[in-house]
Structure 1
Amino acid sequence: MKKLLISSFDLEVGGVERSLINLLENFDYSQYEVDLMLYRHKGDFMKLLSKKVNLLPEIPVYSTFRKSIKETFKDGHYNIGYSRILSKINSDIKGRLKGIVEPGYYQMQLMWRYTLPFLPVIEKEYDLAISYLWPHYFVAKKVKAKKKIAWIHTDFSTVETDVNMDLKMWNHFNLIIAVSQACKDAFLKKYSELQDRVIVIENIASPDFVRKMADEKVDNLLMKDKRFKVITVARLSHAKGIDNAVKALRILKNRGYDDIAWYVVGYGGDEKVLQELIAKNDLKGRFILMGKKINPYPFMKAADLYVQPSRYEGKAVTVGEAQILAKPIMITNYPTAKSQVQNGIDGYICEQTITGISEGVENLYKHPDLREVLSKNCIEKDYANFKQLNKLYTVLKEIK
């Protein structure tokens, strides 16, 4: 039986984490022995983890990557703490000099580069090691395996990274898996040298699970709201464009659309900024941050329209789940959008601007016939894609 290692950060509520849960739930354990390395054993999705996976014990020094710098020092990991401070200082300086809106990706690269000397190697040897979430330095440098695979969920054309630093890391991997063709194409524009190593395996969707969870009874304001309900399920971060959604709703309010309510399920570092933006635009009670929900599906099912206002995506898991629930969907025209929906068929793509979002919502609000077409086409499509796993099994069979 071949030995596999899969690594990720934790199992907090998120699209990547949901796709990992689905992958592990549908894996063929009769052929493979699977170890899971989570840097920190934390998150609401821990309870959804397949019992067939062998969860490795948490290693304290790796858990620091999901802790604050203050907690890291408190736990006695001083070298890690100082390395993280240095990475933040250097990335902030580069961000200011180059006008980078979101230097966090570069900061993460530096963090791993500076902390690697202080991280232990995993002694067990594997046939295959999979790094499920960027940056992939752990599997690249600290794991022994015959073959190594890195998974990419992000549109790399939209994020600022040090290409040369990343190439040294990517060269440790035999294969790189992108979650969509558009995600692959964007990646290769940045790392063209890796052309022969990249394949596409879509996120594993579980329609039966999503529909079952959507039928759960919940008592919430959204379920009782008689207004036209827009919903977004996303992390509260710059990438997801929730700030643009707030401003778009303000435009709609100014146009006299008083019966539109926008709900957001999710959490993240931008919550305070968004609450202030909601208050500034006089949208309290209209734009509602619902916080973290382990099960967002009843709320998605109860809404009239699902909107993904992102600045960039690899392939949004939540959009696929809304399609499974046959919701009319609108997404912004981020670079990988056309790999997510067929415009006018099973989704609607609007301009990636505040005006574009407001006009898109207005159009779908005013045309229930269009919403019906989008919903009907989703009903007729089979979103189960377990055969995607066969691509991974093919790679495994090639390992001698």
Structure 2
Amino acid sequence: MGEVVNKPTYPAEQAKRIAVCGHHEARGGAEVALFRMLTLLRRRGCDIVFVTKNNTDVIEDLIPEGVTVVRVSADSRWSRFLGTLLGKGERPRWWMRVVRKTLHVLSGKRHYWAFEYAGRHLTGLPKGPFDAVLDFEGYSCIDTVIGSRISAPIRATWIHTEEVDLSATYSYFLRYYDRIFCVSQTAQVALSARYPRLADRSRMLFTPIDVDLIRRRSMADVSPEPQGTDPSVFRIVTVCRLSQEKNLELSVHVAATLRDRGLNFLWEVFGEGVERTGLQTLIDRLGLTGRFVLRGAVSNPYPYMKRADIYVQTSKHEGFGLTVQEAKILGIPVVVTDIPAFREQIVDGQTGFLRPADVEALADAIIRLARHPEERRRMAENLAKVDWDGQQDMSPLYEFLGL
């Protein structure tokens, strides 16, 4: 077996043994959903081995008790590079980058041949057999290849986005994976439209949530407000990875419009990602320092969400949008871009506002809620009536695993 990061607490002898493949560049909605799923499987008595190519520092506290963590790599720097398995401190040489780009252009399939090669040179794979393998990452990731190399009679994978591109892993889906779980109707429709041969393997499986835990954690103490903070300021919060699909550049431009239209606000963004430097440059250039603030990743964002007046998300696309659902659980009205995944979650005018990805339209919705607290209260009352039990049905997964 590969490198064991924490020791397991094994359940009964007849427990299902399940390998779960995933990675975690940051603490985002997908990571929260992944480890919530592991918690639920542990409660069902499963023996879980979490297989990852990453160090687990960033998500150490999320790993459920009793889960064994195995870190996979490859047998040379070259194969680690091709499979995006390089560890901390390892940087590809210039000629490696040229070769991978050439493979990309010649094959027309992103990383396909690279993944094929890396897959034959993996090291540290957990010893089988397993009762099942679950590839939680799903699309165009080396994790799908890793899952295909672990011995098990059945395998399932996940689709988390409406922007489905399986060019690097399509053949693995066809050959090795029996079930494809889509986290929303939007994701399932997109998968079936682009890859009709996979349609009959797909099932919808909502992202698992823990409503009581989210509400309990929202009551935790947070850092006190800096001295001089205006108590009447209108508080806006966003929790997301700082990545291109979250479209935070649009949020910054909306904030500039709010300022120009005289709204006294503080917009806080919790999360980390590759877009941080560019976003901070834009914030400074537009004179929004102190108004639009990148707070970084926090282990518990819920108290900050709870004290906000509204939650805003300007994503270009989503598979589900977990943090929007978490804001709803906490009774926070939301303003979001009008994309298919958010249409599944928001009743426009009742639990929030759906608006086009337009600066003025989004600013109008925010200002409307800022100036009409009675409308925010009405939306909060509507959110309090939502039946969350019906949105936590894990039976498609349990049936697949024979639990």
| Residue of structure 1 equivalent to 2:99 | 86
Map of 2:344 onto structure 1? 339
SS of residue paired to 2:20: strand
Task: Check conservation: 1:8, 1:132, Cα contact below 8 A.
Answer: yes
Q: For the residues of structure 2 that align with 1:176 and 1:187, how far apart are their CA atoms?
A: 10
Q: Letter of the aligned partner of 1:112 in structure 2?
A: F
Once structures 1 and 2 are overlaid, which stretch shifts more, 216-225 or 369-378?
216-225
Partner residue of 2:11? none
Aligned with residue 131 of structure 1, among 135, 140, 149: 135
Give 1:30 deviation, angstroms. Answer: 4.8
- 2:255 is aligned with 1:249: yes
Q: 2:39 aligns with which of 16, 22, 25?
A: 25
Would the alpha carbon gap of residues 111 and 309 (structure 1) be closer, same or farther in structure 2, given more than 3 Å must change?
farther
CA distance in 2, matches of 1:71, 1:15: 27
Please say if 1:152 is aligned against 2:155: no
Structure number having the greater helix percentage: 1
Aligned-residue offset at 1:206 = 0.5
CA 1:14–1:194: 2 relative to 1, 3 Å: same
Residue 7 of structure 1 deviates from its aligned partner by 1.0
Aligned partner (choices 66, 70, 75) of residue 57 of structure 1:
70
Alignment match of 1:170 (pick from 170, 173, 176): 173
Pick one of 242, 247, 251 that aligns with 1:236. Answer: 242
Counterpart check, 1:143 vs 2:179: no
> In structure 2, how many angstroms separate the alpha carbons of the residues matched to 1:385 and 1:25?
19
Aligned to 2:195: 191
Contact 2:209 2:392 survives alignment (8 Å): no
**CA separation of 1:353 and 1:152: change in aligned 2, threshold 3 A:** same
Q: Any residues of structure 2 matched to 1:196-215 within 5 Å, and which?
A: 196-215=200-219
Sort the Cα spacing of 1:211 and 1:57 in 2 relative to 1 into closer, same or farther, 3 A.
same
Q: Indicate the SS of the match to 1:388.
A: coil
CA distance in 2 between partners of 1:243 and 1:222 (Å): 26
Task: Tell me which amino acid in the other structure corresponds to 1:197.
Answer: R
Check whether the contact 1:13–1:43 (CA below 8 A) recurs between aligned residues.
no
Residue 3 of structure 1: which of 11, 17, 31 is its match? 17
Q: Which residue of 1 aligns with 2:183?
A: 179
- Deviation, 1:181, is 1.1
Q: What TM-score do you get using the length of structure 2 for normalisation?
A: 0.84
Q: 1:274-353 to 2 correspondence within 5 Å? A: 274-353=279-358
Query: How far, CA to CA, are the matches of 2:66 and 2:73 in structure 1?
Result: 24
Partner of residue 30, structure 2: 16
How far apart are 1:139 and its partner, in Å?
A: 4.2
Aligned match for 1:72, one of 90, 98, 103: 90
With over 3 angstroms needed to count, the CA separation of the structure-2 counterparts of 1:225 and 1:184, relative to structure 1, is: farther
* Paired residue type of 2:310: L
> What's the CA shift for 1:387?
4.9
For the residues of structure 1 that align with 2:389 and 2:95, how far apart are their CA atoms?
46
Cα distance change, pair 44–168 in 1 and its aligned pair in 2 (3 A): same
Distance in 1 (alpha carbons) for counterparts of 2:186 and 2:35: 23
Query: Per the alignment, in what secondary structure is the counterpart of residue 268 of structure 2?
Result: strand
5+ residue gaps, structure 1: 99-105
Question: Contact 2:26–2:58 (CA<8 Å) still a contact in 1?
Answer: yes
Give the aligned length. 376
| Identical amino acids, percent of aligned pairs | 24
SS at match of 1:10: coil
Q: Are 2:203 and 2:396, in contact at CA under 8 Å, matched by a contact in 1?
A: no
> TM-score by structure 1 length?
0.85
Query: 1-side partners of 2:315 and 2:221: how far apart?
Result: 29
Q: 1:389 aligns with which of 377, 388, 394?
A: 394
Q: Is the 8 A contact 2:144 2:172 kept in 1?
A: yes
What is the CA–CA distance in structure 2 between the aligned matches of 1:220 and 1:281, rounded to whole Å?
27
> 1:206/1:162 Cα in 2 relative to 1: closer, same or farther (>3 Å)?
closer
What amino acid maps onto 1:45 in structure 2? I
- Structure 2 unaligned segments of length 5 or more: list them: 1-13
For 2:46, the aligned partner's letter is: Y
* Structure 2 CA distance for aligned equivalents of residues 27 and 313 of structure 1: 25
Partners of 2:112 and 2:361 in 1: CA distance: 34
Distance (whole Å) between structure 1 residues aligned to residue 146 and residue 173 of structure 2:
10
| 1:40/1:66 contact within 8 Å kept | no
Equivalent in 217, 222, 237 of residue 218 of structure 1: 222
Contact 2:72/2:122, CA 8 A, preserved across alignment: no
**More displaced stretch, 332-341 vs 288-297:** 332-341
Distance 1:285 1:11, change over 3 A: closer
Alpha-carbon distance in 2 for matches of 1:170, 1:238: 26
Q: CA deviation at 1:232?
A: 0.3
Q: Deviations over 1:121-145 (max 9, x none)?
A: 5541222110001324334531221
Q: 1:4 to 1:82 in 2, by over 3 A?
A: farther
